[in-house]
Structure 1
Amino acid sequence: MEQEQQEKMEQKARQQGAGTLYLCATPIGNLEDMTYRAVRMLGEVPLIAAEDTRHTRQLLTHFDIHTKLTSYHEHNKFTKGPELIEWLLSGQDLICVSDAGLPGICDPGSHLAELAIKAGIRVSPLPGCNAGLSALICSGLDTTRFTFVGFLPKTAKKQQEVLSEVKNHRETLIFYEAPHHLKATLRQLAAMLGGTRRAAFGRELTKKFEEFRRGTLQDLLNFYEENEPRGEYVLIVEGFKGEAEPSQELPADPVELCKMLMEDGLSKKEAMREAAKKLGISRRDVYAALLTAEK
């Protein structure tokens, strides 16, 4: 049913002469990594939506491209996105670029693509560089199956939640990290995934000071505790190789589940919230069950 509805939307958009949204890869460092097609298309479309117009203008100037730029980023996507969809529906093509690599990977390009697809607008890739895959193929680790995690959340608690979800994944893990957060992130990785996990860290990919450093997570932690990280990093971490821990069967009764969670160290309020999430019920229902049990 959903497929039929989408096809009707696309047909309607074509009949109205809607333009095409192109998602264009840009270099992750070396400007020579631009493709011939991407350079040509950037010069032919009437408008480019850029994450940082100043950064993209430097790229366009290098290739003598004078296409009009408009700002589209994380902080204006909910207001600017619909405007760009109207532009596309009016029959004009649009290219969306991020600061580096493929738009839609850790940036708002994915939101624009989602809006376009819902409106029946054709979305087409202009392929090219991607930091995660570039680091993966040079890592020496398994490339047949992998999970892209990207940037971890900012708080330690949220980081631990994400790492708990992926720590038993058999496939190779891909993370992004900035230099000023690298050591803290590496400590979390070693603690949550195990210091003996093999890893390969790539920094400044395709640039003058490109470097890969390989070893266990503990080896890399020891190195960066003594050496200040420099440049943007892609972290490639080996998948889980041990025996998976047996899954713990959770009580279906919210009172019992809350009791178990509190025994694990959660406060009553945290246990109620977690029990509601795990059982798929409201916190009000959990609270009511606890009140009844206390009578």
Structure 2
Amino acid sequence: MENPNGSELIDAHIAQSFIAIYPTLLNLLFVILLILGGSFLGGYAKWSRSTEEKGGIPFKNILFGAAASFMCVPFFSSVIHIDYQSIILPIEAGKSAIFVQQALLLVSVSGIASYLGYALLDGIADKVLQQEIKKESEERKAQDEKIFSQNNSLRAEVLYLKAVTNTESAEKTGSKNLLEEALRCINEALAIYSENKSSPEYDKSRVYKGYILKRLGRIPEALEIVNEQIAAGRTTPITLFNKACYLYLLQKEKQDGFDQIKTLIRQAITLETNDNELKQKQLRLKNKIKEDGEPDLKGLFNELERAEIGELECGKPS
């Protein structure tokens, strides 16, 4: 017995593949014929209604109707759920009624698409266009909001830095106008940062506003800010230290209440933290007290107390 050669095997494989897809092609052709039949009816009905002269076959209307049907029927099928699985030849036993129902439904939809023609295509195109416009509009809106937020954040940062620069210049020159300008800048920065009051930038700006108010002699307002920060759970070495400074400036003329202030200073230096940056701030505060280098606290501690504070360990409660 002779073995088949390579070309015969290929031919056999092609033949088997064609036999396998033949029923599918047959059913596709059948569906196309149903759509064409419906589009013919719709196109003819449109022509019959819109023209007074009935001579000749309306090829133009029928061709346009067919084009409209092939473009619109898939769209309608997704809405009314034509069951193409039921429009299969040969008809399965017991499913003749479903076959007829779905076939007629397809013809009907094709006819409607063909009859309505321009309006349907314009409607579908308009719907798709509106969806694209809406999507693009939402994307552009999100992008604009992101850009606006970034610009606002940048502006707030510039205003904060300007406030710091003006305050430092005011301390060197004694200019009250520069301090007023610094206060204006920090208020503008706070107005932007207030959109997210839990942000570190908002806290930092609030603390610095208190510092500016202190330099302007508006110490009760500065103390109010730092008290609000502490009451809100934002207790840091800086807020505790600043509160001690503001209280001392208010009470040093009375020569009373210094024990509370000294306690606040010790708490600021020993407030428990594992943050190295905060520990560095605590170390700077401790050295200021140890060397009597904080102008706002001049005269608060005696030499023995300053030495005792110099022995405190930063970041660890005593």
Shared fold per TM-score greater than 0.5: no
> Which has more radius of gyration?
2
TM-score of the superposed pair, with normalisation by structure 1: 0.24
The structure in which a higher percent of residues are helix is 2
TM-score of the superposed pair, with normalisation by structure 2: 0.23
The structure in which a higher percent of residues are strand is 1
Q: Which has the higher contact order (CA 8 A, sep 6+)?
A: 1
